[in-house]
Structure 1
Amino acid sequence: MPVTIWLVRHAESVANVTQNGDLHDPELTDLGRQQCASLREDFAKKRVDLVFVSPMQRAIQTALEIFPESSGLFVEPTDNMILLPELQERGGAVCAPCDIGSPPDWILEKYGDTRFDHSHMTIEWTNKRPGSFYAPENARKRARFARKVLRDTVKPYEGTDLCIVVVTHGRFLQFLTESSVVFHNAEARPYVFAPADEDDTEAKLVEVSPIDDGDSSQE
């Protein structure tokens, strides 16, 4: 039984509504917070073990709305939400402020929830200038890195009914899935890793039916 990876696009942000790219690291709207309610109900029916989260505010707030501290949704309720900089939005050719994150210390101060693992955060994660690892032109390379992190994480869980959630962004999801799939705000879709030889450099993800997510027949 392969572990199911639920890919989630963040809920509606202020930038989604205003189309104002000059808003730095925007937060969710009230509607965005409401959009998370159905996902909260859906994931309450599953055995979620870990949540990987883009450190941008709209993704962090989406994760917190779906998995409030009092929900008890996690199998092991400590350090389950991992902030992974590689999951941040791609950004355009000229990266707008809305697609640039906030400094790690600021994030830690504002989102110091004890369930968050900040160990992957570095000061460089906000550097999206040309040539940097997080620059828009490196989105494909960054997506490959993120998939490998996820693949290595799920290996110990193979054969169980646990699942992992990834909260990220619309454009970046196309690189993560290596497809033209369009995720709407607060939409979740189930994936598994494709069977591969030991020398698996791409760690490809394959979408599965929500009814059959995690079913070994999808291998």
Structure 2
Amino acid sequence: MPPTIHIVRHGEAEHNVGYRLHLPDPALTAKGMTQCRELGQTFPHMDRMTHLIASPLRRTVQTAHWAFIDPVPAAQKAQRSIVALGELQECSRHPCDVGQPLAKLAQCAGFLDVSRVEADWNSKTGIYTASEPVIKTRAERARAILRELARSVADRGDEAHLVVVSHGTLIQYLIDRPDSRKTHFYNCEYRSYKFVDLYGEDPKTAGLVETNESFYRRYGPLNMRTPEEADDLILAERSST
């Protein structure tokens, strides 16, 4: 069975209250922490999670930790780490979306793997520029990395689950559905996807399709997928064979 990618929006953070975009790299609120704990209590694939990946911004790292590391037994906590990906950071240049320098992130080496984070990840230049064409390219690169990680566990023979914690706007580009009115994620909401072409090499073919279980969890069993989405899911289910 091909791996499943669960995409999570972070819990409520300080800048979400009153639209305070001037706050630098804000932390989760008390409500956000509660949302994380509730997610950790209800997420059904905790024991089969092979990778935990997050944007290096504070609110996403905290969400990953409080939802997916803190709830597990002490013996398992030492075996779990958060793989930080600068490609998953939020899109704007507002202070709330500018992260800490790599040297500071490296101080969290006990639970945060920053080996894939580039030194200029918080510069908002180059691949991290806050413009739509560049954001689309960055999302393609993020999907390619996630597909690489998914392939690394596809041959295990068991049902593998990868969790990705990111941000409201970036997620729209990650799932290639930039119309946020249709695809808005609530704080600590998760949806589940599979790669249409798990073993492809072209980053532009690393498309994601939402699973039936995730789709019906949101819309109910009486709603219909588009024919294209249905075909993509069939391809995704066959892509690991």
Q: Which residue of 2 aligns with 1:36?
A: 36
Which structure shows the bigger proportion of residues in helix conformation? 2
The whole-number CA distance in structure 2 between the counterparts of 1:103 and 1:68 is: 24
Q: In 1, are the aligned partners of 2:45 and 2:161 still within 8 Å (CA)?
A: no
The whole-number CA distance in structure 1 between the counterparts of 2:185 and 2:202 is: 26
Say whether 1:128 aligns with 2:124.
Answer: yes
Say whether 1:151 aligns with 2:147.
Answer: yes
The whole-number CA distance in structure 2 between the counterparts of 1:198 and 1:45 is: 26
Q: How many residues align?
A: 210
Q: Which moved more, 1:116-125 or 1:70-79?
A: 70-79
Q: In 1, are the aligned partners of 2:8 and 2:165 still within 8 Å (CA)?
A: yes
The answer to which structure, 1 or 2, has the higher relative contact order (CA under 8 A, 6+ apart) is: 1
Q: In 2, are the aligned partners of 1:189 and 1:210 still within 8 Å (CA)?
A: no
Which string of whole-angstrom CA distances, capped at 9 and with x for unpartnered residues, describes residues 83-103 of structure 1?
110000011xxx111111111
Q: Where does 1:95-106 land on structure 2 (aligned, <5 Å)?
A: 95-106=93-104
Aligned residues: CA RMSD: 2.5
Which string of whole-angstrom CA distances, capped at 9 and with x for unpartnered residues, describes residues 149-187 of structure 1?
010111132242120000000000000000031111100
What is the deviation of 1:37?
1.6
Gaps of 5+ in 1: none
User: In 2 relative to 1, CA 163–196 (structure 1 residues): closer, same or farther, beyond 3 Å?
Assistant: closer
Q: Which residue of 2 aligns with 1:25?
A: 25
Say whether 1:178 aligns with 2:176.
Answer: yes
What letter matches 2:83 in structure 1? I
What is the deviation of 1:19?
0.7
Greater Rg by CA: 2
Residue 207 of structure 1, aligned match among 210, 214, 220: 210
Work out the percentage of aligned pairs sharing the same amino acid. Answer: 33
The whole-number CA distance in structure 1 between the counterparts of 2:197 and 2:32 is: 36
Gaps of 5+ in 2: 217-232
**In structure 2, the residue corresponding to 1:127 is in which secondary structure?**
coil
- TM value normalised by structure 1: 0.86
**In structure 2, the residue corresponding to 1:164 is in which secondary structure?**
strand
Residue 106 of structure 2, aligned match among 83, 103, 108: 108
The whole-number CA distance in structure 2 between the counterparts of 1:64 and 1:196 is: 27
- TM value normalised by structure 2: 0.79
Q: In 1, are the aligned partners of 2:69 and 2:77 still within 8 Å (CA)?
A: no
What letter matches 2:13 in structure 1? S
